[in-house]
Structure 1
Amino acid sequence: MLKEAESGVPVADLARKHGMSVATFHTWRRKYGDMEVNEAKRLRELEDENRRLKRLVADLSLDNQMLKTVNSKKW
């Protein structure tokens, strides 16, 4: 899609064709415009891994907080 825009197709036409807003297209261009396809795929993989790890840290933090609460109560 970015290559189509580089070839001269109007951005509004591309956005309509692909069912997205012009603002989204410009966001993608800013984010992925200077990348090759393999670099964009690698970025997507890293973002997915980062999202998964953040979720894991949040879950473990909740578990840790729960254990501290249970441990702090006097039996």
Structure 2
Amino acid sequence: MTKKGRRRSPEQIVRAIQEGEAMLAGGKSEAEVFQKLGVSEGTWNRWKNQYGGMKSEEAKRLKELELENRRLKELLAEAELDKRMLKEIAEGNF
């Protein structure tokens, strides 16, 4: 039986990394830390690469910026599509 995954907020991830680092510094093994946090080694490494060294506020701001960037890209794609359609209509190629 597999454990259903859950999404964690950037703040929760940063806190989990800090907690895990403290446990590792306290002499716990990686396996114990991963089990306590309920994550796999791959998840831990991905979190460390993405959020390592960040504070909770910085991680939250990063997620907000990523979301804003995605929205802006979608708006740009829609605008470019509208521009292309208007150009084709103006040329009579419809």
Give TM-score, length-normalised by structure 1. Answer: 0.80
> 1:59 maps to which residue?
78
**How many residue pairs get matched?**
71
> 1:42 maps to which residue?
61
Going by fraction, where is helix more abundant, 1 or 2?
Answer: 1
- Structure 2 residue runs of 5 or longer lacking an equivalent are 1-15
> 1:4 maps to which residue?
19
- Structure 1 residue runs of 5 or longer lacking an equivalent are none
Q: Distance in 2 between matches of 1:66 and 1:14?
A: 55
Give TM-score, length-normalised by structure 2. Answer: 0.65
Identity within the alignment, %: 42
Cα offsets for 1:41-65 (capped at 9, x unmatched) = 1111111100000010011111111
Among 7, 31, 35, the residue aligned to 1:13: 35
Say which structure, 1 or 2, has more relative contact order (CA 8 Å, 6+ apart): 2
Q: Distance in 2 between matches of 1:65 and 1:14?
A: 54
Q: Let me know the Cα RMSD of the aligned residues.
A: 1.9
Greater shift in the superposed pair: 46-55 or 1-10: 1-10
